[in-house]
Amino acid sequence: MLQLYIGNKNYSSWSMRPWVLLRQAGIAFEEVPVRFDSFDAGSQFKRQLQAVSPTAKVPVLVDGGVSVWDSLAIAEYVAEAHPDKHLWPQDKAARARARSVTAEMHSGFTALRSHCPMNIEARLPEVGALLWRDQAGVRADVQRLVQMWSALLEQHGGPMLFGAFTIADAFYAPVCMRLATYALPLPEAIAAYVQRVQALPGVKAWIDGALAEADFREFEEPYRLGR
């Protein structure tokens, strides 16, 4: 059976992407949690992951003797292994666009990711209001999301970005978590998409796991001193 090494569900946005993809697609896998203690070279986190990945980062997918690290590489590996799941759109043009917006997420939106770290358990609207006021990069990233998602939802008719659930929705699921945690302002149609993503069974299962952790990591919570 596939093994997926992941970090803390409350914080690990990159782990969330392949986990949600596998769970939502109904692909069996064993979850291997690796707790965030620190990211220092000698940490237990790093030592455990060094056995399966040269980068010692999460996520890592292990399939027998094959290790796949990096969330996008994992998604492509799974899509290739399970063509019947249609994890990319079947239409060639739509598939190219889905790959493009997924790669854009993989390499972009740095202001949003930097200033709004994923924290599913938290509700930080006051922090979000300050960031919205002071961080032009955050406003620009959200504007790009609104533009992208609006066009895709209109073109494909929803409920997901390309109609049915695809890798693109799995990759933007942690973004939806950020938008909700920090209560960043969104048009009604985009807020509705965020809610639909949160309600997906695979996403809901991840959220439930994150809320059950109760594992406060100070270095992952720059805006909070405690619960």
Global pTM reads 0.95
The superfamily in CATH containing domain 2-85 is: Glutaredoxin (3.40.30.10)
Residue spans of the domains in the chain: they are: 2-85, 92-208
Task: Assess whether pLDDT exceeds 80 at residue 220.
Answer: no
What pLDDT digit, counting tens, does each position of 57-99 carry? Answer: 999 999 999 999 999 999 999 999 999 999 999 999 999 999 9
For residue 69, which phi and psi values (nearest 5 degrees)? -110, 160
Least confident of 9-23, 174-188, 207-221: 207-221
Spatial contact of 203 and 197, defined as CB atoms under 8 Å apart: yes
Identify the architecture of domain 92-208 in CATH: Up-down Bundle (1.20)
Q: CA-CA distance, 76 to 79, in Å (whole number)?
A: 5
- The neighbouring-strand residues paired with 33 are 6
Spatial contact of 58 and 49, defined as CB atoms under 8 Å apart: yes
The gap from C-alpha 42 to its chain's centroid, in whole angstroms, comes to 27
